């Protein structure tokens, strides 16, 4: 049984902790610049997390995972190492993105919280459930402030980083399954 569980042996080839801290800061800043760019082209965001930010996170994760692999000796990297790198990058990017949502909502787009509320209330009213349940949910949503929307964006970005890290690790890993001949 233990032989089955330990079939895959991996090695850490680089210092992924330094890389994901540095690249996570850049990734969070890129996500912030994307939402500012959307505001500038008159396409303001209606939720703390959208397809635009999800795609941006995926592209940035893929770019930095590729760059990380290329900087390693012989370009060798394991699935585990890329997963750790991608998850670390995603968490740091999510924190930076959440803080930048606070900045965005308080300085750049003061209608951000009200647009988020309107978007989610309209979605809740179209959903299923009794009228009392819908009204209770809407009442809770009306109490949300800017920091609540920023936390929602941070949490959801961190969760989406799991999928982005998995995709990047599948694409860019170079180490394969080691089989032992006995």
Tokens of 180: 């032992």
pLDDT digits (tens, 9 = 90+) for 25-65: 999 999 999 988 888 887 777 777 888 889 999 999 999 99
- Cα 81 to Cα 18, 75, 124, 142, 178: the distances in Å are 13, 13, 40, 42, 16
Burial class (CB in 10 A: 0-12, 13-18, 19+), 28: buried
Mean pLDDT of all residues in 88-105: 92
Cβ pair 87, 61 in contact under 8 A: no
Cβ pair 160, 170 in contact under 8 A: no
pLDDT digits (tens, 9 = 90+) for 122-146: 766 676 667 777 777 777 777 778 8
How far is Cα 12 from Cα 29, in angstroms, rounded to an integer? 28
> What count of residues does the chain have?
182
Q: Is the CA virtual torsion 74, 79, 80, 81 positive or negative?
A: positive
Helix and strand tally (H, E) in the chain?
7, 0
Tokens of 2: 């233990």
Q: Model's pTM, two decimal places? A: 0.80
């Amino acid at each position: 049984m233990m032989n089955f569980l330990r079939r895959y042996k991996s090695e850490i080839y680089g210092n992924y902790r330094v890389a994901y801290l540095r690249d996570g800061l850049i990734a969070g800043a890129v996500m912030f610049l994307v939402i500012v760019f959307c505001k500038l082209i008159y396409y303001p965001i209606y939720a703390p997390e959208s397809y635009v930010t999800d795609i941006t996170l995926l592209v940035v994760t893929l770019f930095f995972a590729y760059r990380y692999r290329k900087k390693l000796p012989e370009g060798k990297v394991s699935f585990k190492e890329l997963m750790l790198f991608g998850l670390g990058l995603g968490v740091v990017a999510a924190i930076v993105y959440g803080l930048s949502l606070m900045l965005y909502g308080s300085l750049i787009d003061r209608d951000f919280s009200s647009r988020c509320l309107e978007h989610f209330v309209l979605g809740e009213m179209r959903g299923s459930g009794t009228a009392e349940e819908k009204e209770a949910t809407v009442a809770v949503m009306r109490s949300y402030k800017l920091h609540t929307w920023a936390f929602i964006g941070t949490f959801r970005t961190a969760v989406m980083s799991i999928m982005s890290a998995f995709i990047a690790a599948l694409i860019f890993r170079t180490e394969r399954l080691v089989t032992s001949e006995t």
